[in-house]
Structure 1
Amino acid sequence: MDYYKLKKEIEMGKVRNLYLFYGEEQYFCEKIIKVLEQYAINTSFKDFNYEYMEGDSISIQRIENACETLPFMDERRMVIVKNFPYFQGGKVSKEEEKQIEYLSDYIKRMPNSTCLIFWQIEEIDRRKKLFQVIKKIGLVLDFQKLNAYALRQWINYYFKKKGKKIKKDALDFFIENSDYLSKNSTKTLIDILNEIHKIIDYVGDKEEILVEDIKKILPKRLENDIFKLVDAIGQRDKKIALKLLNDMLKEGENGLKILSMIARQFRILIQCKELKKRGYTPNEIANKLSLMPFIIKKGILQANYFEEKKLCQAIHSILDMDFKIKTGKIDDKLALEMLIYEYTN
């Protein structure tokens, strides 16, 4: 079950009386709850048949009272419990254990006229009894972040919905600079949506969205400048490489961070070379390295500028420079310039 299947199920009239929604992608949690509000209860009587509780206002007694209240002029009541603490890990007191036991038993026999929704933003411990009971008798849905393919589809759909078309290269640039797919990124679809609205506002009546439009709105990402810098090093273009480095430093980027990002890019190139030799396709390499396919395609092309031996040497040089910078033996700007001189000669 995913958001779209559940949405269709609800729209077709199947409303369950127990849900648990959680996960990184809170955008979908909010959307599905709005769908339930629209189809589970008559909005004309929402004031009587809708109850929301969160944080300190939550008690098991209040949950039970809300669920036991009969709906007014409707077949169903909707009760939302947000961030219920007993889904989280950690020890609980004996009294709290009794309370959880009671609630776990109660939800098995609560009235069919109640639609009870637990909505968690906080982390969930799936071993908890309450989680296991809801999973058995209700519907549990973990809204994970979208993968690269689904993100492309979603962004395309949203622009189309707003009467806009986004060119493929513009979409690639947008995704790459949004930082949504990066490992450990905290960006969500809510952040992506904010950027989409900014782009739509910027282009106004213009129907087609180009790379240039997105560049005006999205902040520059260090990864893109690093890619250009490594590209310049690979093409032995010392002048461009030094200019890119100076521009990054002028913009306030940390020298050590630039150094570590160059090392990261060199490692990606080594992995691209090695996996390509083993017969992997660009898409297979992308899956293996958890990177977007277009990043890998660019990486494979960039890797052609370097011998594998040179890339390994460069990483060792960077580790040595990193140590010297941290121990005060060399200035970070000078170390980066030396690296560029060494590998563009």
Structure 2
Amino acid sequence: MASKKNQAISVTQLQKMTIDELPPVTLVLGQEQALLDSAKAYFEQLLSSEEREMNYGRYDLSEDNISAALDDAASVPFFGDWRLVVLTQPTFLTAETRKNKIEHEFDALIDYLAHPQPTTKLVFWANYEKLDERKKITKAIEHHALIVDASELKGYRLTSMLNQEATLRHVTIDPRALELLLHRVDEHYTLAVAKLKQLALYVGVGKQISVDDVDQAVEQVIEDDVFQLVAETLGHVQQNALERYQHLLRNGNEPIQLLALITAQVRLLLQVKILRHAGYAQGDIASQLKVHPYRVKLAMQQEQKFRLIELKQMFQELVALDFKIKTGRADKAQALELLIIKFSAKR
């Protein structure tokens, strides 16, 4: 049996296919919820409500034996042209140890894959990060099925899909606004789509989503507040720095957590300044430090305002303070506030 894996298509490409164009077997693979929701909506609209009553089957393979699903798939449709059979929880395709293990008849499934019922659309719903491609059954399905990629989106695919989503909402988004949005949602596509829908309603049809729109409508993450706190501290804007620190404490953030985040931010500024002076570009710095390019971009803009000796001194005192707090030699909340006061004082 040939075991060459089919090339995957995107959910967007799937949505453009009619039921006639859809192959007899489809494998939906991945864990990006927004893409899974779109794929689910696509399959749900393939049959009319009347056709679904007679020609739709859904089987949970953690509970149902696949033989029942194959019997259904092998049946001709009643009062319609097509039958749709969806198989969920095919954990046997993964390396995961199965609970309540059911003995599936894989030989019968492999036979069906080689000779599928032409009027049935069989869908494997594999909402997993990856499959165990060492298994014979996995190889067979990947060879015979149309593979739909619903994996987590990254990089260009992520920004491209969000720009497409904006177009569907009849808005555009400034590249800098998109960058900020992705930063605020930690590059989670599903969350970014939800926020983009809100932003589209916020700005209105035909408008462009700006950086200010994202800043106002999408919650700021704690790292952004810490970023501003460090900037205000090293920029000697003492009142703002102290107010921001108290605000973070009131929001339930522990001094130890804030100390760790401040230390990480100052370390990043220090590393970026050193690497930039050594001739590294933004992308190279991000790759070298394994830090998101947006954080590096902000750090490159910020580090130029501070002297190397200031960053080194603050970093050393933050590390020393961490040791003092952990060994009970300093009060965590007061000691960090005193350090902020020291470095934010006018000089």
> Equivalent residue for 1:193?
193
Instruction: Work out whether residues 85 and 123 of structure 2, in 8 Å CA contact, stay in contact via their aligned partners in 1.
Output: yes
- Kindly tell me: are residues 123 and 178 of structure 1, through their superposed partners in 2, closer, same or farther at Cα, counting changes over 3 Å? closer
How far off is 1:286 after superposition?
A: 3.6
Hey, what's the Cα distance between the residues in 1 that align with 2:17 and 2:236?
A: 59
- Give the 3-state SS of the residue equivalent to 1:145 in structure 2: coil
Q: Does 1:53 align with 2:59?
A: yes
Match of 1:159 among 151, 161, 166: 166
The CA RMSD measured in Å over matched residues stands at 3.4
> Equivalent residue for 1:233?
233
The TM-score, its normalising length taken from structure 1, stands at 0.81
Hey, what's the Cα distance between the residues in 1 that align with 2:156 and 2:281?
A: 17
Q: Does 1:175 align with 2:182?
A: yes
> Equivalent residue for 1:114?
120
The one-letter amino acid of 2:334's match is: L
- Kindly tell me: are residues 280 and 49 of structure 1, through their superposed partners in 2, closer, same or farther at Cα, counting changes over 3 Å? farther
Match of 1:10 among 9, 17, 37: 17
The one-letter amino acid of 1:218's match is: V
> Equivalent residue for 1:222?
222
Q: Does 1:64 align with 2:67?
A: no
| Higher helix proportion | 1
- Kindly tell me: are residues 209 and 138 of structure 1, through their superposed partners in 2, closer, same or farther at Cα, counting changes over 3 Å? closer
The TM-score, its normalising length taken from structure 2, stands at 0.80
The one-letter amino acid of 2:58's match is: Y
Q: Which runs of 4+ in 1 moved over 6 A?
A: none
Moved more, 239-248 or 104-113: 104-113
Q: Which runs of 5+ in 2 are unaligned?
A: 1-7
Instruction: Work out whether residues 31 and 129 of structure 2, in 8 Å CA contact, stay in contact via their aligned partners in 1.
Output: no
Instruction: Work out whether residues 78 and 116 of structure 1, in 8 Å CA contact, stay in contact via their aligned partners in 2.
Output: yes
Hey, what's the Cα distance between the residues in 2 that align with 1:9 and 1:218?
A: 32
Hey, what's the Cα distance between the residues in 2 that align with 1:12 and 1:296?
A: 46
Aligned length: 337
- Kindly tell me: are residues 162 and 125 of structure 1, through their superposed partners in 2, closer, same or farther at Cα, counting changes over 3 Å? closer
Identity %: 25
Instruction: Work out whether residues 63 and 102 of structure 2, in 8 Å CA contact, stay in contact via their aligned partners in 1.
Output: no
> Equivalent residue for 2:146?
139
- Kindly tell me: are residues 124 and 207 of structure 1, through their superposed partners in 2, closer, same or farther at Cα, counting changes over 3 Å? closer
Instruction: Work out whether residues 11 and 150 of structure 2, in 8 Å CA contact, stay in contact via their aligned partners in 1.
Output: no
- Kindly tell me: are residues 291 and 58 of structure 1, through their superposed partners in 2, closer, same or farther at Cα, counting changes over 3 Å? farther
Hey, what's the Cα distance between the residues in 1 that align with 2:54 and 2:276?
A: 63
> Equivalent residue for 2:91?
85
- Kindly tell me: are residues 294 and 56 of structure 1, through their superposed partners in 2, closer, same or farther at Cα, counting changes over 3 Å? closer
Moved more, 158-167 or 228-237: 158-167
Instruction: Work out whether residues 24 and 188 of structure 1, in 8 Å CA contact, stay in contact via their aligned partners in 2.
Output: no
- Give the 3-state SS of the residue equivalent to 2:57 in structure 1: strand
- Give the 3-state SS of the residue equivalent to 1:226 in structure 2: helix
Hey, what's the Cα distance between the residues in 2 that align with 1:277 and 1:303?
A: 11
Hey, what's the Cα distance between the residues in 2 that align with 1:133 and 1:309?
A: 62
How far off is 1:230 after superposition?
A: 1.6
Moved more, 296-305 or 84-93: 84-93
Hey, what's the Cα distance between the residues in 2 that align with 1:300 and 1:265?
A: 12
